[in-house]
Amino acid sequence: MRGPNTIQFEITDDCNLRCLHCYHLDNTEELEIKFSEANKEKIMKIAQKIVELGVFSVVITGGEPLTKKDLVLDLVEFFSDHNISVSLNTNLILLTENFLKDPRSKLITNFLVSCVSSNTKIYKEMTWNGNYNIFERNLLLLQKYNVRFGINMVVNTRNLHDIKNTAGHMHNLGVENFYVTPMSLNLYYPDLEHFLTKDQVISVVYDLIWIKDKLGMNIDILESLPKCLFPKEILDRKFSFLSRKCQAGVKTATVNYEGLVRPCSHNPAVYGNILEEDFSLIWDRMKDWRERKYIPVECGECKLSNEDCFGGCRMSAKAFDDEHKTNAVDPWFNCVFKEKIQLYNVMDLNSIELAINTIISLSGRLQNRLEEDENYSINIAKKNVNMTVSPEVYKMLSYIEKKEKVSLINLCGTKEIFHSEKFQYIIKMLIAKKYLNIIA
């Protein structure tokens, strides 16, 4: 890949809250960060550079991006005009109805909303004087305007006991997507006092499963955890969060409001400035992440480490390690897998039945980027389903998108091609991966 698929765009360090668990800044100090119109001009130049990378999605984050509402809307419109999906990370406190009334806000594909607790006291303590009642009022605004969103509850020992209560309250409010993420460590200011133990993380996962089974909510964990942490009964259920692995410097990168580029938002190491040099040079400096240089030695014999795990969060491990090594073992490391196990459900292509007169369509807007090897990285906008395909497959998908819908016999041309193993596999695989829909 000649670049990332997703950019985390930190448009400001300014934030209305001072969450003590935040990985972004030193939250032991009161920070006042000034923002001027000159900065906006620079940010739009950075946005143009991001467009030129051929990314599929941008996550607007901060700080708190809603401290800069007009800028957010300008960026959303700009990226959307260039066929880039945009999502927003926010604590929601500064959301206004006028923001949601603006037509540009409808272009935001998803809001990722942070909420540490529905208990007003816990919320206030963990956000340094945040007001939960304002949060809930604005949450109802999202629902009023039919905004797609999910709640992310970062958990440490302060709110560990309140997961089910918070999920239950959110469920009663009509929330469908609820994520619980164990707190990672800020590299410079690690909150070891409230960091979860292995057993506590496992209890978090069991609470999350209860939320899925009892409340029927969609669940996830938004950080990469070492797979050896999970008991077999959890691994056997093949939850989607088990397939999550660190993509820093692989499929994602972070760019801040000055143009500084980092592998991820947790990592403070700067690899270059997107305004000052060609991004290909910066990306090449990050190849150590793509080459898995930081997988812990302890994970070397593991059958999952190089493909399905990568050893957990490297920054949290570095912060926890006495010597601050990037390849330090994850604090929640448990063991190595001597045999390969399947962490997610294998696509059952045989269950997909195709006929010559089957009519298919693309499941959404196609995004693409030509790679250095002449293959294409592709994605379905808003669904974040990306893969690499040959020029022939890309050409076929482009044809289907142009036609809007097409029968398989018209697509392949002859019965011989339709019945060929290659054609059957490609079509079924694209259906299983939700690139194509069967409509008749």
Burial class of residue 429, CB neighbours in 10 A (0-12, 13-18, 19+)? middle
54, 258 contact by CB (below 8 A): no
Task: State residue 36's pLDDT score.
Answer: 46
Ordered per-residue pLDDT tens for the chain, 440 residues: 889 999 999 999 999 999 988 877 555 544 444 444 448 999 999 999 999 999 999 999 999 999 999 999 999 999 999 999 999 999 999 999 999 999 999 999 999 999 999 999 999 999 998 999 999 999 999 999 999 999 999 999 999 999 999 999 999 999 999 999 999 999 988 999 999 999 999 999 999 999 999 999 999 999 999 999 999 999 999 999 998 999 999 999 999 999 999 999 999 999 999 999 999 999 999 999 999 999 999 998 999 887 889 999 999 999 999 999 999 999 999 999 998 888 877 778 999 999 999 999 999 999 999 999 999 999 998 777 889 999 999 999 999 999 999 999 999 999 999 999 999 999 999 999 999 999 99
Helix (H) or strand (E) segment spanning residue 272 = strand 272-273
Task: State residue 38's pLDDT score.
Answer: 47
262, 271 contact by CB (below 8 A): yes
Give the DSSP per-residue string, 345-403: PPP-GGG----TT-EEEESS-EEEEE-TTS-EEEEETTTTEEEEE-HHHHHHHHHHHHH
Report the C-alpha gap between 60 and 102 in whole angstroms.
17
Give the DSSP per-residue string, 129-146: S--HHHHHHHHHHHHHTT
Domains of the chain: 6-294 (3.20.20.70), 349-438 (3.90.930)
433, 354 contact by CB (below 8 A): no
Using DSSP's 3-state secondary structure scheme, residue 111 falls into strand
Helix (H) or strand (E) segment spanning residue 410 = helix 408-412
Helix (H) or strand (E) segment spanning residue 212 = helix 198-215
Using DSSP's 3-state secondary structure scheme, residue 22 falls into coil
Q: How far apart are the first and last CA of the chain?
A: 36
User: In terms of residues, how long is the chain?
Assistant: 440
Task: State residue 305's pLDDT score.
Answer: 82
| Residue the block writes with tokens 């330090």 | 328
* Buried residues in 96-122 as b, exposed as e (16+ CB within 10 A): eeebbebebbeebbbbbbbbbbbbeeb
CA 124-130-132 angle, 5° bins? 80
Long-range contacts of 291-294 (CB under 8 A, 24+ apart): 293/327, 294/326, 294/327
| Residue the block writes with tokens 């939320």 | 211
Report the C-alpha gap between 44 and 50 in whole angstroms.
10
Helix (H) or strand (E) segment spanning residue 308 = none
Handedness of CA 43, 49, 52, 58 (dihedral sign): negative
Q: What is the pTM of this model?
A: 0.94
Mention every residue, 6+ apart, whose C-beta is less than 8 A from residue 338.
Answer: 301, 303
**H-state helical runs in 30-172:** 37-52, 69-81, 97-101, 120-126, 132-144, 163-172
